[in-house]
Structure 1
Amino acid sequence: MNRRSALLRSLAAFALSLIRPGQARAQALAPRPFGEANPNLDSLAVGEWWTKRQPPRNPPPSLDVPRDEVVAFAVYTHDNGVLKMTAQLFPLKPGEERMARLELKHGDEWKEVARQEVLYPGWSSHFRIEMWDNTKDVPYRVRHGANAMFEGLIRRDPKDKDEIVVANMSCNSSRTTGLRPEIIDNITLQNPDLLFFAGDQTYRHTEHTAGWIEFGLQFRDILRDRPTICIPDDHDVGHPNLWGENGKVSKIAGNADGGYMFPAEYVNLVQRHQSWHLPDPVDPAPVEQGITVYFTRLRVGGVDFAILEDRKFKSGPAGKIPQMGPRPDHINDPKYDPKSIDLPGLELLGKRQEKFLEDWTADWTGADVKCVLSQTAFCGAVHMHGKEDQRLLADLDCNGWPQTPRNRALKLIRRAGATHLCGDQHLTVLVKHGIDEFGDGPYAFTSPALVNTIYGRWWHPENEQPGPNPVPSSPLPWTGDFLDGLGNRISMLAYANPPKIADEKQRADGYGLVRFNKKKQTITYECWPRFSDAKEGDKAQFAGWPQTVAMAANDGRKPTAWLPPLHFDIDNPVVRVIEETTGEVLYSRRIVGREFRPPVFSDGSFIVSVGLDTPEVTLPAMQSRPWNREDRIHLIKLA
């Protein structure tokens, strides 16, 4: 072919690309897609992005990459026969194809299974595959143009494994740029079945696309070959703190009045980047301003994860309670009464998510164990904020406030015998919650900051004494039972204070691992420093870890009586117990084996419902009684 013919063909192909659906025409892309009032939102990735100058301090990676590298990374989940994947591309240039392709490998052959437009703003592409066979490992690759490609592995569901391992991570400081080999090497060796990023994946408040790509480049070597849960937190959507209040508009500095300060389109961009690949939301109706929701469930290896949005519906404190500190969400008045700020009508999870949790506790389809995931902790397990000598009595940004909906949430988590994993606090702790008394609630593990150059926190009781019932033989001085600054009961089991926040290797940053052992019915919580070496084993963990607890101990109530013993004709049925007088659901669990004597916590009459995956069959009312080995066993036929 001569040069003239080649040139004509190239021009013809280019002309065709301009009118083909899904093709990039940069001159038609809005340079300010979030409105004239927000010219700096996502500025590095919109309009003529290739002309933009990087910020002088802590710049993100260049977005102008070789064109065979424009597919940056991908994240995925699969549940209930549906695979969902988000592919993140670097920004595209004029004339470049605005289409990404998903290919799967079967045997020795690659087959294209889907094409999706690369969306602007944000430069992401989203694939949904129905009737997904989760019994096999399937290699995949996302392609753009002739040469750009990102490859990975869609793992089969590990339901045959006795132990399912989850990496618990959050707070990835953007002030420390570059890759994260010290974290990636350890996690690759430990090989978790699921990655959970609880929020603050990026702190580039107004530049989410650049920050999200930066995060993806840092973690893509573990993202590429296992399911990943990402839920955005306050800094991801550009906030210092966030009380979403059902999506209203925030109008004051610091946003403590509740709502969002940036346009809904920007919030939705963040959520689309980070959470579109999660299973479909269980209640998809958007909140105010058209802001989308993503709360849902994901099952991996028989562990059923409820994924919450604990910021989106929460009430903001400003204008609702008196200010008792330097700002509306910080309380430093030692004379204040915690009950005085637990006002009627304040929300935490909101009615929609509480309804979701109620339904989730009763539905054990595909589940042997349950776990709740959210952004932050249901307590204020921290004393020092920002500086080692800067004591704060109560922080209303945590989920310890409002206290009444906090207790409702913990009762729902306890109902399923679930543990709770979260991040956000920049201080890792393992606690056992108390609701009506110490220790009657579930365990909760707050991960350390992945990279802790934003905000230090410390657990440091003012009297420098352990609480009642300290952990026996703990290397940590301040374990035991405490009231947090909001009056909530917590039992401190382990914490990792930063010895020297100015020293990169003494900031107590890192990540958590949680091991759900279905065979032993135990949960092991591990906590690994950022610069540790996993090859050294448990001695490389923070002092106080690992800790192993019985799954059943996520309900810490002590039985006062029992119902008659039950024997089932199937293995591992679901049992729900309701107190007849009050209608309160005491618990809904999948038992192990065929025999179960339901414990109860008061005298009276109780309704028991049983089933294979849901409590479908209701038995005649039963009366509680003291333990008696001679009680007649009731045979329940479910097969």
Structure 2
Amino acid sequence: MKKKPSSVTRRDALKLTAAGLSSLAFPPASVSAQDSALPFGTQFPELDSLATGEWWVAKTKMPGKGKAKGGGASKPPSMDVPREDVVAFALYTYQAGVLKMTAQLFPLKPGEVREARLEVQRDGAWKEVAKAEVLYPGWDVHFRVEGWDASVSVPYRVRHGERAMFEGLIRRDPVDQEEIVIANMSCNSSRTTGLRPEIIDNLKSQNPDVLFFAGDQTYRHTEHTAGWIEFGLQFREIMRDRPTICIPDDHDVGHPNLWGENGKLSTLPGNADGGYMYPVEYVNQVQRQQSWHLPDSPDPAPVERGITVYFTRMTVGGVDMAILEDRKFKSGPAGKIPQMGPRPDHINDPSYDPKTIDLPGLQLLGERQEKFLRDWGQDWTGAAMKAVLSQTAFCGAVHMHGKEKDRLLADLDCNGWPQTPRDRALEEIRRAWAVHLCGDQHLAVMVKQGIKEFGDGPYAFTSPALVNTIYGRWWHPLDEKPGPNPIPGSPLPWTGDFKDGLGNRISMMAYANPPDIQDEKQRADGYGLVRFNKKHRQITFECWPRFADVKKDPQGQFPGWPITVDMQANDGRKVAGYLPELVFEGAADPVVQVIEDSTGDLLYTVRVSGSRFQPRVYALGTHTVKVGRDRPDAHTLASLQPTPSAEAAGQRVLHGAGGKGN
């Protein structure tokens, strides 16, 4: 059997081979469908069967073909298309002068060339800038172009053979825009087939700078290529001309839920023992198809069994995004904590103590991603504001699961558990004054996270399901009362401070409960938009129903939105005092870092706006301040004593302390 393709580039493959990991190298370009009719082995004939082997032959006798597990059959698009349409779609990103693009092809037939080309248009002429092999299984192709000039927009086209072509635009980096907009999306039900014109029309009108798909792009568990192509056809008209972030979640890799536990093999039904149940080759194919085009990971070593990683960073228009894999390293609950519900990951015992399941050694992001977040938070190269993007929420902001009256106390599939590593993750996000964007929960919510106190952590926005037919969820406190400190004037009855079923502190700001999960117009389908205003250092969160008409009703968001917050409010700790005001002569918008001397705790590292900044602190002992252009590495001010009053703190003048930010 031929070797399977991996999610690494040719350059990476050569490096890995040199390190003794030759099993990750690419297969030869001449491999054909007939050669690998069962590319994932005889144990898994169902995996990607609609796009492997003699895929063009109707497979009417094989059960489960085209079914979206989790409820009901739905027919995927045909894989057999006119050959001029064989390039289905493309998606791209660029970072630090490197353009990466993935093109997804429909399955090829015997004798068709296994190569595609990337052409760009400059000065009115088309020029080929890259060519690459079409990988099997998966039928994806990957282009990497170094030395990319992101200051201009460039038309592109992906070509296969003589006739097949997909065209789009590689947008310039909008560094001069005052506002950068990220579309936040997830959970695209495969039960509802066909295109998504109502979403696409709205997004075209709103014109986001970045698309973020947080996971569950497809629910065709064992048929990822067919499901991925279906997703691409639905969203290609908006993806073709702007940077797109795609990260797979549990259903994308065929799981009902996923606790990756560093890549181990899962053998328990429901997978609560942790790990992946399908072959490494299938997991890597899914990740490669969805996420290869992301900027290179700063820590690309595979996890156990050779499963690849993709966590990374990406900066667009001065907004620096940390892209996390908050499933891959997370511990599975089965066998580690007592079962206190109908299954290992559901807790319905009201007498349980959340502290008893917050055990030493349990992981959420894992040590590698925690280190990545710490480093990312201190590097502000090209950045004025920061955001963290991941699959799911760092809290359990849900009460009803599946049905409107089915109450669940705690769901360990959310990232409110394990609690201690959850708190560590939020502390790193807070240190950068970043917001957190995610999906997965099928319920749109906006919360202010609490770590040690209510409101001391960052803001977090969970997008609604794009198409919410798989699993309904509702926010519905048992006593049907608001919590302390409710949102003044909110149209929603249950805002304020609450503890989730895991004991985590959350301040509920807005939620979008579905009035009727059976009615397509009342399921609370939709998407989010997040606007980063670099001039005023503010973030505005918008939440749009799927069937809204943004042109006719520009105010037609879900009740409770929009919500605007100050960037600095992502650190909500109580201020104990102020250090001397910093005045930067000959420089503007430097990076400032504040460290508490008695504990060594790095309080925050941020790019300030303008030529003056008054550092705030949370204890009255001495502090150290570091300042620099993109990192806090040019000046150090030691043993600064805070005063309770900002006016009494005085000034410190720094010469040439920083540089102009975006």
TM-score bin (small chain): over 0.9
Deviation at 1:557, TM superposition (A): 1.2
**Which of 27, 31, 35 is the matching residue for 2:34?**
27
* Aligned counterpart, 1:595: 612
**Which of 43, 49, 67 is the matching residue for 1:43?**
49
Question: Is 1:102 equivalent to 2:109 in the alignment?
Answer: no
Deviation at 1:627, TM superposition (A): 1.4
Question: Is 1:433 equivalent to 2:449 in the alignment?
Answer: yes
**Which of 77, 84, 91 is the matching residue for 1:61?**
77
Q: Secondary structure at the match of 1:334?
A: coil
Answer yes or no: is the 8 Å Cα contact 2:346–2:412 preserved in 1.
yes
Q: Quick one: distance in 2 between partners of 1:398 and 1:318?
A: 15
Q: Deviations over 1:54-108 (max 9, x none)?
A: 6473111000000000000000000100000000000000000000000000021
Question: Is 1:576 equivalent to 2:593 in the alignment?
Answer: yes
**Which of 542, 560, 564 is the matching residue for 1:548?**
564
**Which of 257, 268, 274 is the matching residue for 1:252?**
268
Q: Matches of residues 206-285 of structure 1 in structure 2 within 5 Å?
A: 206-285=222-301
Q: Matches of residues 516-555 of structure 1 in structure 2 within 5 Å?
A: 516-555=532-571
* Aligned counterpart, 1:635: 653
**Which of 311, 316, 329 is the matching residue for 1:313?**
329
Gap change, CA 1:418 and 1:145, over 3 Å in 2: same
Deviation at 1:213, TM superposition (A): 0.3
Deviation at 1:380, TM superposition (A): 0.2
Deviation at 1:597, TM superposition (A): 1.4
Deviation at 1:189, TM superposition (A): 0.6
Answer yes or no: is the 8 Å Cα contact 1:161–1:301 preserved in 2.
yes
Q: Quick one: distance in 1 between partners of 2:95 and 2:497?
A: 39
**Which of 609, 613, 619 is the matching residue for 2:626?**
609
Q: Letter of the aligned partner of 2:39 in structure 1? A: P
Q: Quick one: distance in 2 between partners of 1:631 and 1:319?
A: 54
Q: Deviations over 1:8-47 (max 9, x none)?
A: xxxxxxxxxxxxx73564333x111111111111000011
Q: Quick one: distance in 2 between partners of 1:243 and 1:138?
A: 40
Q: Quick one: distance in 2 between partners of 1:405 and 1:628?
A: 34
Q: Quick one: distance in 2 between partners of 1:461 and 1:25?
A: 56
* Aligned counterpart, 2:644: 626
Deviation at 1:638, TM superposition (A): 2.8
Answer yes or no: is the 8 Å Cα contact 2:340–2:347 preserved in 1.
yes
* Aligned counterpart, 2:396: 380
* Aligned counterpart, 2:62: none
Q: CA RMSD in A?
A: 1.0
Question: Is 1:370 equivalent to 2:386 in the alignment?
Answer: yes
Q: Letter of the aligned partner of 2:645 in structure 1? A: W
Q: Letter of the aligned partner of 2:595 in structure 1? A: I
Q: Quick one: distance in 1 between partners of 2:646 and 2:506?
A: 34
Deviation at 1:622, TM superposition (A): 1.1
Answer yes or no: is the 8 Å Cα contact 2:579–2:646 preserved in 1.
no
Gap change, CA 1:387 and 1:131, over 3 Å in 2: same
Q: Letter of the aligned partner of 1:575 in structure 2? A: V
Q: Letter of the aligned partner of 2:54 in structure 1? A: E
Q: Deviations over 1:388-417 (max 9, x none)?
A: 000000000000000000011001000000
Q: Quick one: distance in 2 between partners of 1:468 and 1:384?
A: 21
Answer yes or no: is the 8 Å Cα contact 2:81–2:106 preserved in 1.
yes
Answer yes or no: is the 8 Å Cα contact 1:24–1:93 preserved in 2.
no
Q: Letter of the aligned partner of 2:501 in structure 1? A: G
Q: Quick one: distance in 2 between partners of 1:460 and 1:379?
A: 15
Deviation at 1:141, TM superposition (A): 0.1
Answer yes or no: is the 8 Å Cα contact 2:457–2:571 preserved in 1.
yes
**Which of 460, 479, 497 is the matching residue for 2:513?**
497
For structure 1, which runs of at least 5 residues remain unmatched after alignment?
A: 1-20
Q: Quick one: distance in 2 between partners of 1:332 and 1:412?
A: 31
Question: Is 1:121 equivalent to 2:137 in the alignment?
Answer: yes
Answer yes or no: is the 8 Å Cα contact 1:24–1:95 preserved in 2.
no
Answer yes or no: is the 8 Å Cα contact 1:24–1:94 preserved in 2.
no
Answer yes or no: is the 8 Å Cα contact 2:459–2:570 preserved in 1.
yes
Q: Letter of the aligned partner of 1:86 in structure 2? A: T
Deviation at 1:536, TM superposition (A): 3.0
Q: Secondary structure at the match of 2:377?
A: helix
Question: Larger deviation: 517-526 or 281-290?
Answer: 517-526
Answer yes or no: is the 8 Å Cα contact 1:428–1:495 preserved in 2.
yes
Q: Deviations over 1:190-213 (max 9, x none)?
A: 100000000000000000000000
Q: Secondary structure at the match of 2:375?
A: helix
Answer yes or no: is the 8 Å Cα contact 1:560–1:600 preserved in 2.
yes
* Aligned counterpart, 2:7: none
Q: Quick one: distance in 2 between partners of 1:528 and 1:496?
A: 10
Q: Matches of residues 344-363 of structure 1 in structure 2 within 5 Å?
A: 344-363=360-379
**Which of 498, 514, 529 is the matching residue for 1:482?**
498
**Which of 143, 149, 155 is the matching residue for 2:171?**
155
Question: Is 1:185 equivalent to 2:201 in the alignment?
Answer: yes
Q: Secondary structure at the match of 2:299?
A: coil
For structure 2, which runs of at least 5 residues remain unmatched after alignment?
A: 1-27, 60-64, 68-72, 658-662
Give the paired residue count. 618
Answer yes or no: is the 8 Å Cα contact 2:578–2:649 preserved in 1.
no
* Aligned counterpart, 1:471: 487
Q: Quick one: distance in 2 between partners of 1:550 and 1:52?
A: 56
Q: Quick one: distance in 2 between partners of 1:501 and 1:55?
A: 24
Answer yes or no: is the 8 Å Cα contact 1:311–1:349 preserved in 2.
yes
Q: Quick one: distance in 2 between partners of 1:378 and 1:544?
A: 21
Deviation at 1:148, TM superposition (A): 0.3
Q: Quick one: distance in 1 between partners of 2:513 and 2:554?
A: 18
Q: Deviations over 1:445-464 (max 9, x none)?
A: 00000000000000000000
Q: Quick one: distance in 2 between partners of 1:471 and 1:217?
A: 40
Q: Secondary structure at the match of 2:555?
A: helix
Deviation at 1:628, TM superposition (A): 4.9
Q: Letter of the aligned partner of 2:337 in structure 1? A: I
Answer yes or no: is the 8 Å Cα contact 1:81–1:134 preserved in 2.
yes
* Aligned counterpart, 1:204: 220
* Aligned counterpart, 2:24: none
Q: Secondary structure at the match of 2:327?
A: coil
Deviation at 1:538, TM superposition (A): 4.0
Answer yes or no: is the 8 Å Cα contact 2:622–2:642 preserved in 1.
yes
Q: Quick one: distance in 1 between partners of 2:66 and 2:262?
A: 34
Answer yes or no: is the 8 Å Cα contact 1:22–1:97 preserved in 2.
no
Q: Quick one: distance in 2 between partners of 1:457 and 1:173?
A: 15
Answer yes or no: is the 8 Å Cα contact 2:183–2:211 preserved in 1.
yes
Deviation at 1:631, TM superposition (A): 4.2
* Aligned counterpart, 2:18: none
Gap change, CA 1:217 and 1:284, over 3 Å in 2: same
Answer yes or no: is the 8 Å Cα contact 1:24–1:92 preserved in 2.
no
**Which of 273, 293, 302 is the matching residue for 2:318?**
302
* Aligned counterpart, 1:332: 348
Answer yes or no: is the 8 Å Cα contact 2:500–2:506 preserved in 1.
yes
Q: Deviations over 1:164-205 (max 9, x none)?
A: 001000000001111001111100111000000000000000
Q: Quick one: distance in 2 between partners of 1:35 and 1:289?
A: 16
Q: Quick one: distance in 1 between partners of 2:646 and 2:455?
A: 27
Deviation at 1:539, TM superposition (A): 2.7
Deviation at 1:580, TM superposition (A): 1.1
Answer yes or no: is the 8 Å Cα contact 1:576–1:615 preserved in 2.
yes
